[in-house]
């Protein structure tokens, strides 16, 4: 890796930290500690957490006016996003250079994976902000508590909880490209019962997924309906029943390699996806509340189907049905003042059913397979001396195919100078179990009787310092991070015993970099926030840059509250150049490409008409900048949107 570039970045970051007492560049801070859950699977003040976590609360989500979760995540240091066109197109996120399928998404406590895809990775395109009240983005390997797939990090999504009494909210938005977005929620608490129901509908005509710069002109629209609900019942003051559900239905048109020419361009293909998440839990305390327990069953499934009308009668090109069933127990034991143990056990069964009907020659049975994974974990935390919090944990997993695997993690957070200085350090291990497709498809190691696939593994670490100034009205932090990923599972076209290719553990990748964050309340009305990330991510088997991961990324937002209650914000997002590649059907070879750097400017405003009604609007990509996050795929140009929010 180009160590010189990284050292220069670290020197610049360190110089900024030393000079910080005289700086006024940054964003608003909360005077109190933010409470985070994702770091330790239990609430903790952020000052006591040694790992890197960014929290986006309800206020930040509303102020951003974002409708898509990934539009929020790309503002987080260490995270980059790429999308194959406009809204609804296949979307991936990369945390500190890790592959997108190495990121675990958790929705209301339920891990959301897609066992029906070749790598079991989740397509982030269907995640809308909807009734979300909180997002926690944990960066770095965290499989000790979160299990398989938490190699790059964890995105914890929490929907809104019922409040006291009965209340509700609704919003409606419309704008460019025929976009419309409606959502509503209602809920409350009455005696031992709490309930919240929410729903939303999003539709847009979209843009051509095939970039207009290459001749794309056919619009690829997107429609999404989402519903969520929570029901709680306090059986006794110490025993609570917790039920949660989440469902989405989407329809998206996309472009691809059209038949029979197999050239990339405008296409009439479309996909339909249905996704369900269910959770039933029983929470109860023992020993006067010193031991908090949770028993839960979870269920997820994703049904995806792709169609190509150009093929005629048999136009279903692909379908997959991936499901996961889980049973888990978790305990949180307050051992003594300042000391706590978190432990648990999980059992998971995943299954896949998939086929390509339009391309089958004669009756071809679908691929059907399943796997089981049993896990146990334990972690202990303690404030060993005033201000110094240490955490260590271990996990053991037993997979029905590859056998046992152990992971561990340790972290430290040291709060000094009355909490104005926080030093952090962490080391974590991650793993990702081979997917069902990699194991049991026509190219799978089990089907072809190849060498057994091992889990992908990852070691990651970071060191950071956070400094507060001006009575906590300003903050600057610098974090150095690194990761080393081995036994990556890749498809090989030529493999002994596999005449048409197969999967094997042959990949080795690594990344290192630095994250700089700054924020300040310059005046009672003006706040600034900024972050910069340098990521050097490489395929260490051939020392080439990993695709679609910009080495340099930055965000800057300035927000101003006018005396007449009007709030305005200007946001700038920058991404440096990155590498990509495409398959040239003329030469049947892969051609490397460099995606140019770009900066996108957004302008937002909101105005409270009354205490219960708010008018808001925004202009995205104010200067109509053309850019690519994936070669030959389009990006959203300038767009204007206006909406209204109401509470009751």
DSSP state at residue 298: E
Q: What's residue 567's pLDDT? A: 98
Average pLDDT, whole number, for the chain? 92
Tokens 């619009």 belong to 219
CA dihedral for 84, 90, 95, 100, sign (positive or negative):
negative
- DSSP per-residue codes, 538-602: EETTTTEEPTT--SEEEEEEEEEE-TTS-EEEEEEEEE--EEEEEEETTTTEEEEEEEPPEEEEE
Q: How many Cβ atoms sit within 10 Å of the Cβ of residue 4? A: 8
Distance, CA of 111 to CA of 298 (rounded, Å): 9
Distance, CA of 245 to CA of 250 (rounded, Å): 17
Q: What residues contact 377, with CB distance under 8 A and at least 6 apart?
A: 144, 145, 343, 344, 345, 393, 394, 395, 396
6 has pLDDT over 50: no
25 has pLDDT over 80: no
Q: Do 42 and 110 contact (CB within 8 A), yes or no?
A: no
Q: What is the mean pLDDT of residues 489-517?
A: 94
Q: Is 41 exposed, middle or buried (0-12, 13-18, 19+ CB in 10 A)?
A: buried
Distance, CA of 27 to CA of 6 (rounded, Å): 25
Cis peptide bond N-terminal to 260, omega within 30: yes
Q: What's residue 32's pLDDT? A: 57
Q: Do 172 and 201 contact (CB within 8 A), yes or no?
A: no
Nearest to 620 by CA among 179, 76, 221, 26: 179
Number of domains in the chain: 1
Q: Is 388 exposed, middle or buried (0-12, 13-18, 19+ CB in 10 A)?
A: middle
23 has pLDDT over 80: no
> Distances from the Cα of 252 to the Cαs of 56, 94, 177, 205, 219, in angstroms?
28, 23, 15, 10, 11
Torsion region of 362: left, alpha or beta (phi above 0 gives left; psi -120 to 50 gives alpha): left
Q: Do 118 and 58 contact (CB within 8 A), yes or no?
A: no
Q: What's residue 538's pLDDT? A: 97
The range of the structural domain enclosing residue 447 comes to 3-647
Q: Do 17 and 467 contact (CB within 8 A), yes or no?
A: yes
Q: What residues contact 403, with CB distance under 8 A and at least 6 apart?
A: none
Distance, CA of 69 to CA of 458 (rounded, Å): 26
Domain of 260: which CATH number?
2.40.170.20
26 has pLDDT over 90: no
Distance, CA of 261 to CA of 280 (rounded, Å): 50
Which pLDDT band, with edges at 50, 70 and 90, does 69 fall under? very high
Which pLDDT band, with edges at 50, 70 and 90, does 367 fall under? very high
Nearest to 26 by CA among 78, 77, 96, 67: 77
Which pLDDT band, with edges at 50, 70 and 90, does 176 fall under? very high
pTM of the entire predicted model: 0.93
Q: What is the mean pLDDT of residues 556-561?
A: 98
Lowest mean pLDDT, pick from 11-20, 83-92, 406-415:
11-20
329 has pLDDT over 80: yes
Which pLDDT band, with edges at 50, 70 and 90, does 360 fall under? confident
Q: What's residue 261's pLDDT? A: 65
Dihedrals phi, psi of 434, to nearest 5 degrees: -55, 140
Distance, CA of 57 to CA of 461 (rounded, Å): 26
């Amino acid at each position: 890796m180009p160590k010189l570039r990284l050292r220069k970045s670290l020197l610049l970051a360190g110089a900024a930290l030393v000079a910080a007492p005289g700086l006024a560049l940054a964003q608003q801070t909360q005077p109190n500690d933010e409470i985070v859950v994702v770091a330790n699977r239990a609430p903790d003040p952020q000052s006591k957490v040694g790992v890197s976590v960014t929290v986006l609360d309800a206020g930040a989500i509303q102020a951003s006016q974002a409708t898509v979760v990934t539009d929020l995540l790309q503002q987080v240091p260490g995270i980059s996003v790429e999308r194959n066109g406009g809204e609804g197109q296949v979307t991936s996120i990369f945390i500190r250079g890790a592959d997108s399928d190495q990121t675990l998404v958790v929705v209301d406590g339920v891990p959301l994976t897609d066992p029906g895809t070749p790598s079991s990775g989740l397509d982030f395109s269907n995640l809308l902000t909807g009734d979300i009240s909180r997002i926690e983005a944990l960066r770095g390997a965290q499989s000790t508590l979160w299990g398989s797939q938490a190699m790059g990090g964890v995105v914890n999504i929490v929907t809104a909880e019922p409040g006291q009494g009965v209340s509700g909210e609704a919003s409606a938005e419309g704008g460019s490209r025929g976009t419309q977005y409606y959502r509503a929620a209602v809920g409350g608490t009455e005696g031992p019962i709490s309930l919240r129901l929410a729903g939303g509908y999003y539709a847009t005509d979209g843009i051509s997924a095939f970039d207009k710069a290459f001749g794309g002109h056919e619009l690829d629209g997107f429609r999404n309906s989402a519903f969520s609900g929570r029901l709680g019942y306090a059986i006794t003051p110490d025993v609570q029943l917790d039920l949660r559900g989440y469902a989405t239905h989407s329809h998206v048109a996309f472009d691809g390699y059209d038949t029979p020419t197999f050239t990339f361009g405008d296409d009439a293909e479309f996909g339909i996806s249905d996704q369900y998440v269910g959770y039933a839990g029983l929470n109860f305390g023992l020993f006067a509340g010193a031991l908090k327990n949770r028993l839960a069953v979870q269920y997820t499934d994703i049904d995806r189907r792709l169609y190509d009308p150009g093929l005629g009668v048999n136009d279903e090109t692909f379908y997959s049905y991936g499901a996961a069933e889980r049973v888990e127990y978790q305990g949180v034991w307050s051992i003594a003042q300042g000391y706590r143990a978190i432990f648990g056990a999980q059992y998971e069964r995943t299954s896949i059913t998939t086929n390509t009907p339009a391309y089958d020659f004669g009756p071809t049975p679908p691929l059907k397979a399943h796997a089981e994974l049993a896990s146990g974990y334990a972690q202990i935390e303690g404030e060993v001396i005033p201000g110094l919090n240490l955490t260590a944990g271990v996990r053991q997993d037993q997979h029905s195919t590859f056998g046992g695997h152990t992971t561990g993690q340790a972290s430290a957070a040291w709060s000094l100078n009355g909490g104005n200085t926080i030093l952090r350090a962490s080391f974590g291990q991650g793993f990702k179990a081979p997917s069902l497709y990699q194991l049991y498809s026509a190219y799978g190691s089990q089907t072809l009787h190849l060498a057994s696939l091992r889990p992908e593994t990852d070691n990651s670490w970071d060191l950071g310092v956070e400094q507060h100034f001006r009575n906590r009205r300003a903050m600057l932090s610098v974090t150095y991070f690194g990761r080393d990923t081995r036994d990556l599972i890749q498809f090989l076209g030529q493999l002994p015993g596999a005449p048409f290719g197969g999967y094997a553990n042959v990949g080795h990748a690594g990344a290192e970099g630095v994250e700089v964050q700054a924020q300040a309340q310059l005046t009672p009305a003006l706040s600034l926030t900024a972050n910069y990330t340098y990521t050097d991510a490489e395929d260490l088997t051939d020392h080439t840059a990993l695709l679609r991961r910009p080495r340099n990324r930055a965000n800057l937002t300035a927000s101003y509250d006018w005396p007449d209650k009007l709030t305005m914000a200007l946001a700038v997002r920058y991404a440096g150049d990155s590498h990509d590649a495409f398959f040239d059907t003329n030469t049947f070879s892969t051609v490397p490409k460099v995606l140019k750097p770009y900066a996108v400017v957004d302008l937002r405003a909101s105005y409270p008409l009354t205490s219960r009604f708010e008018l808001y609007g925004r202009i995205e990509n104010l200067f109509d900048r053309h850019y690519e996050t994936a070669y030959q795929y389009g990006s959203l140009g300038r767009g204007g949107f206006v909406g209204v929010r109401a509470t009751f």
